[in-house]
Amino acid sequence: MIGRRLPEERPRVAPVGYKIATLLLSAGGDRAGFAGVSIGRGQTYGVEDDARCAYGRRHASPAPRCDCGFYCLGSEAEARDLLCVTEYRFAALLTVDVLGSYIRYQRGLRYSRQRVTAVRVGACACGNPAELLVDAGAGMTGRRALTGCCLSCAAGRIGLSFGAYARLAGVPVTADASPYVLGERDVVPRLVAEVTLLQARLDRCQEQLGRLLGSDP
Ligand SMILES: [Zn+2]
Ligand SMILES: [Zn+2]
């Protein structure tokens, strides 16, 4: 079996994968990009890009005797699991089309070219779904990292709307659902109850006002 080549795949549609990445904004605020979180952590890439060897070797990625190249997982749930890891908390979930050559592994692919097709921003640190992007307090030369934040936690801070980031990056950006599903369910009925109470008070005020005005000759 030594020397036997792996079977070659020639898919008609690009394989779809999931990965996590740091969202970046250039120092001048005019360019958006992504950075990997493990191998190639210091390398940035655009919405459609080619992999470069993370060790500066002169070969095309993914080289069989190197571990460079883009990586993705085949399962969205497994990619989302990575977002729980302490150092990846500020990362976003990307959906990618795998283009060019690739090497298939049990849980995903290592490959030469990718197109990011969707960005989902994780929940705010408070648990609410993110509503804009703010400085994550990290970065690299010429680029600062951004992370999702809700409007109430962002009060007084300058941030970037998802739409603005999407225009710079060239890919749709949306909020990922909050993992606190039960918490959200708790909040909504409470808000509805508060609004109902306010409405009832307003109705009473209007009634009293109407009576006062009506009794005034
Ligand atoms: Zn390499
Ligand atoms: Zn918040």
In the reported structure, the alpha carbon of residue 68 is separated from the centroid of ligand 1 by a whole-number distance in angstroms of 4
Identify whether residues 110 and 192 lie together within a single domain. Answer: no
Identify whether residues 127 and 205 lie together within a single domain. Answer: no
- CB-proximal residues (5 Å) to ion ligand 2: 124, 126, 128, 150, 153
Identify whether residues 61 and 146 lie together within a single domain. Answer: yes
In the reported structure, the alpha carbon of residue 138 is separated from the centroid of ligand 2 by a whole-number distance in angstroms of 19
Ligand nearest to the CA of 64: 1
Identify whether residues 134 and 28 lie together within a single domain. Answer: yes
Which tens digits make up the pLDDT trace of 159-213? Answer: 999 999 999 999 999 999 888 865 555 666 666 667 777 888 888 878 887 887 7
Does 88 score more than 50 pLDDT?
Answer: yes
**28 Cβ contact list (under 8 Å, min separation 6):** none
Q: What is the pLDDT of residue 183?
A: 58
**If 0-12 CB within 10 Å is exposed, 13-18 middle and 19+ buried, where does residue 195 land?**
exposed
Q: What is the pLDDT of residue 133?
A: 98
Identify whether residues 171 and 134 lie together within a single domain. Answer: yes
Closest Cα partner for 34 from 80, 60, 71, 3? 71
What pTM, to 2 d.p., does this model score? 0.80
Ligand nearest to the CA of 129: 2
Does 2 score more than 60 pLDDT?
Answer: no
In the reported structure, the alpha carbon of residue 69 is separated from the centroid of ligand 1 by a whole-number distance in angstroms of 7
Name the percent of the chain lying above pLDDT 90: 69
Ligand nearest to the CA of 155: 2
In the reported structure, the alpha carbon of residue 46 is separated from the centroid of ligand 1 by a whole-number distance in angstroms of 19
In the reported structure, the alpha carbon of residue 64 is separated from the centroid of ligand 1 by a whole-number distance in angstroms of 8
Instruction: For 116, list phi and psi in degrees, rounded to 5.
Output: -80, 125
- CB-proximal residues (5 Å) to ion ligand 1: 53, 57, 63, 66, 68
- Domain of 124 in residue numbering reads as 16-175
Would you say residue 87 lies in a domain? yes
Length of the chain: 217
Instruction: For 53, list phi and psi in degrees, rounded to 5.
Output: -60, 125
In total, how many domains does the chain have?
A: 2
Q: Considering the chain, what is the average pLDDT of its residues?
A: 89
